[in-house]
């Protein structure tokens, strides 16, 4: 490999900010944490300062199971970025958490041919050498 080829370490990394830090620190503790509105009960993802349902600022973090189902997916057979060439074919998915919010993720430990809408999936806490933990999903089986 030449020194100019992208490496896994060149992959874009999340950059936590104040409002998102509890989500990322939860992943480091191998927990999925979501905000919930104390005023109307809505579950909220992505992290925000105000509830998108009632505009209340009374959002509190809760640890949830992380159980979800596949809402939609696509299979990237060509790398979406040169740094992801080692992950092809990559199963890119939107999963719907039991609580309702949907999040974009990557399915791992799965045969792309077995992925379908509605597939029950469980969280995978994918820790990099730099300590970053990404939330991926695998079939519940």
* Residue ranges that bind Zn ion, judged by CB under 5 A: 37, 39-40, 42, 51, 53-54, 56
Shortest distance, position 39 Cβ to Zn ion, whole Å: 5
Q: Which is nearer to Zn ion, 35 or 106 (CB)?
A: 35
Strand, helix or coil for residue 24: helix
What residues contact 139, with CB distance under 8 A and at least 6 apart?
107, 109, 110, 114, 119, 120, 121, 122
Q: Which is nearer to Zn ion, 33 or 36 (CB)?
A: 36
Q: Which is nearer to Zn ion, 29 or 39 (CB)?
A: 39
Query: What tokens does 55 get?
Result: 């505009």
Shortest distance, position 103 Cβ to Zn ion, whole Å: 19
Contact between residue 65 and residue 32 where contact means Cβ atoms under 8 Å apart: yes
Shortest distance, position 59 Cβ to Zn ion, whole Å: 8
Number of continuous H segments (helices) and E segments (strands) in the chain: 1, 8
Q: Which is nearer to Zn ion, 53 or 74 (CB)?
A: 53
Shortest distance, position 60 Cβ to Zn ion, whole Å: 11
């Amino acid at each position: 490999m030449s020194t100019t080829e992208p490496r896994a370490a060149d992959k874009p990394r999340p950059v936590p900010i104040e409002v998102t830090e509890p989500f990322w620190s939860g992943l480091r503790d191998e927990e999925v944490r979501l905000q919930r509105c104390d005023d109307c009960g809505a579950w909220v993802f992505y992290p925000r300062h105000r509830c998108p349902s009632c505009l209340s600022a009374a959002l509190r973090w809760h640890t949830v199971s992380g159980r979800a189902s596949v809402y939609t997916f696509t299979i990237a057979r060509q790398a979406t970025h040169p740094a992801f060439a080692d992950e092809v074919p990559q199963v890119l998915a939107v999963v719907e958490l039991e609580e309702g919010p949907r999040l974009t993720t990557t399915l791992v430990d799965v045969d792309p041919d077995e992925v379908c809408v509605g597939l029950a999936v469980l969280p995978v806490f994918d820790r990099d050498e730099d300590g970053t933990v990404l939330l991926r999903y695998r079939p519940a089986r």
